[in-house]
């Protein structure tokens, strides 16, 4: 289950941020999860709970927003949503595209108690 290592990385990021801002407990953490990141939100939530059990972060909730996959077409210079993993421009069907968003996971905000 790769969510376990993701949860571990996530915890490190959160702890770094907490140290930076002198925070000891959190109510929730809001995340953006790219549609393409292959992360299963429920699995990530579960792994995170397991990792933080018994620590000062026990009970911190993960709020996850799924970010759709977006592409930019070099041929017609349009931005479009990539659906069903069809990596071609929806306007001109060119495959000369770049992926703009929807591939990774990022911490958007943390709510302090």
Q: Given the rule CB under 5 A, which residues bind Zn ion?
A: 73, 75-76, 89, 91-92, 94
When the beta carbons of 7 and 73 are compared against Zn ion, the nearer one is 73
Is 28 or 78 the residue whose CB approaches Zn ion more closely?
A: 78
**H or E stretch at 63:** strand 61-67
The answer to whether 26 touches 110, Cβ cutoff 8 Å, is yes
CB of residue 68 to Zn ion, shortest distance in Å: 18
Alpha-carbon dihedral sign for residues 59, 64, 28, 108: positive
> For the CA atoms of the chain, what is the radius of gyration?
17
What is the closest distance, in whole angstroms, from the C-beta atom of residue 71 to Zn ion in the complex? 9
Between 49 and 79, name the residue whose CB sits nearer to Zn ion: 79
- Smallest distance, Å, CB 40 to Zn ion? 32
Distance of alpha carbon 38 from alpha carbon 36, whole angstroms:
5
């Amino acid at each position: 289950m790769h969510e376990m290592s993701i949860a571990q990385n996530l915890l490190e990021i959160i702890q770094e941020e907490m140290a930076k801002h002198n925070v000891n407990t959190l109510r929730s953490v809001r995340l953006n999860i790219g549609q393409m990141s292959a992360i299963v939100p429920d699995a990530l939530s579960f792994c995170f709970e397991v990792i933080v059990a018994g620590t000062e972060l026990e009970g911190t909730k993960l709020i996850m927003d799924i970010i759709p996959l977006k592409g930019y077409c070099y041929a017609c210079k349009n931005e479009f949503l990539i659906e069903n993993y069809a990596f071609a421009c929806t306007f001109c069907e060119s495959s000369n595209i770049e992926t703009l968003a929807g591939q990774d996971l990022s911490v958007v905000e943390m709510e302090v108690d």
